[in-house]
A and B are shown apart, each in its own frame.
Chain A
Amino acid sequence: MPEGTLCNKKPVDTAEGITTLLADKSGKIYYEEMKHLEIDSDLLWKTIQNTCKTRIRTWLEICAHCGMCADSCFLYLANDRDPKQVPAYKIQSTLGEIIRKKGKVDNAFMLHAMEVAWAQCTCCNRCGTYCPHGIDTGIMFGYLRGLCYQQGFVPWEMKIGAGMHRVYNAQMDITSEDYIDTFEWMIEENEEEYPGLKVPVDVEDADIMYTVNAREAKHYPEDLAEAAILFHIAGENWTIPSKGWELTSLAMFAGDWAACKMQVESVYDAMDRLRPKRMIGTECGHAHRATVVEGPYWAGRKSGRPPVESIHYIEWLAEALRTGKLKIDPAKRIKEPVTLQDSCNYVRNHGLRETAREIISYIVEPGYFIEMSPNKEHNFCCGGGGGFNGIGCFRKQRNVGLKVKRDQIIATGAKLVISPCHNCWDAIRDLEEEFEIGIRWSFLKPLIIKMLIIPEHLLPEEEAEEEDE
């Protein structure tokens, strides 16, 4: 059977298509069909010839097979130093092999390549910084994912995720109306405590255009409220776009480059339409990578930059705390051992190594912050990056991968892990569930809100009166 009804080479780009795929619980039929999917070797080889240029080819060629990348890979360490988990081996035996065979590979090979591409690499790019030749295996795995996706060999959840972006311009089936309604509902829930709290929608020429992760609207609406509260207290002139509000890109995890382009263009269109001074994205790592770091290239922007200056939430928070727009009550600072999870996507891959530490200097009582080791650009992936968290059939492998982060956290002795990234946050939650090491985990927003000094004119009337007395 060349093409399955669910598992095939065509992207999903209708709501019905998504519903049908979702109805196939855990992708049971989907994966069954995948076992019979044929490979279009001509298309595969043609794509490689058109898109695999000297950078990747040179990487594959000059790799000295020295194994220096082995120890840099958390999956190699987590899997008891299994030589099959050495980054160079993983890429040479998949992408390298496809190129050597000029695309003439069979179904069994592609099934294996899919597992390696999604369950043996999270595209954290750590190995790239440990290779004497500067070979970035993570980038090659991103490229391999694109080839697998084209041939229909993509995990069920990733196919759905990419489809969601195509249909809803969001990683979940949330329409613009759903999003605005949820945000407004959250404002109503909180306006008693924060009089004047509002969510400005589609305001032109605002200072800040705020974008989110669709999960917040679907599963953690309080995150939207927290963002609004912090902007409100900081006195920011901000807005959310009714269209182009989604910062994330499961399409990037899936290797669906056309969907990646559609997704970021929806955000860039919002920037062009509303002309904000800056775009600020929520506490998410891959979303920042997708929309701010990689997105401009998908959208064909030669400058390599989004239409307006775009920063990560922690950059705004650090700035607001530094300039006094947000003030912390010193008595409420964190007074328990606390550590920080550096997100690969904006620390190693976008240089924000000191930003979260600056925030910590304002919100943690001196002496209570303990660094992980290694940290900053050298930090290990949380264990669930690159889509790994969300793929059911690779859950076992993902749970093994969490061990490195678990041990890093245990070594700090911290009871609280600050994790300003959705993926890391999920992975740390899951590792606590899996290994029960007795930790809590948090984004920055809820922590900061608890320790803010709220200016008197923003307090509810009774409280303001009490303060006067």
Chain B
Amino acid sequence: MPKFLLYIIYLCVFLSAIGVVKNSLSAIRKNDSIRIMRSWHKTKAFIKKISLEEKPDLSLDKEFQDVFTINTCDLVYSYTFNNKNYESSNIGINEKDNNSSFQGDLCRKLSNAEGFYIYVNPQNPNDVSLAHNNYTYREIGNSIICFSFLIFLSYLIYTSKKYPSDYVANQIKILKI
């Protein structure tokens, strides 16, 4: 195998190994938070207010804010935990996934409902989520992809070391005439 190709493979092995470690750690971290969330108490919540509102997109420049609006689900609900009443508008999803289309879909799902089940953090009852997050698929998928590359590239390096260029020639048996 040419040396430059071997160096590229070494680099790819290194990058794949980083990918495996990074994604695995991320999956473990998220899995930990998911596991913790599993201990949260499921309770009933009742809708006090729900409406879908169009608001300026504050992430854009000022002149575009009123042109490109975003949907926001204005949701307020109440719930009881340990005989105490609470009111919240928390949804419990990452900000990056909490986009305009998500807000629209959420409002459509809850608009005709009387209430819904929520998960309450027993340590801090103000901390609630409408559903259990389970987002480790992406990290697990990435880990498997990086791991597959890692194994294959490592095998190529192993092959180039174990079987040098004259390996096949050395296996052929010559007889003296």
**Chain A bound to chain B:** no
Give B residues with C-beta under 8 Å from A: none
Chain A residues within CB distance 8 Å of chain B: none
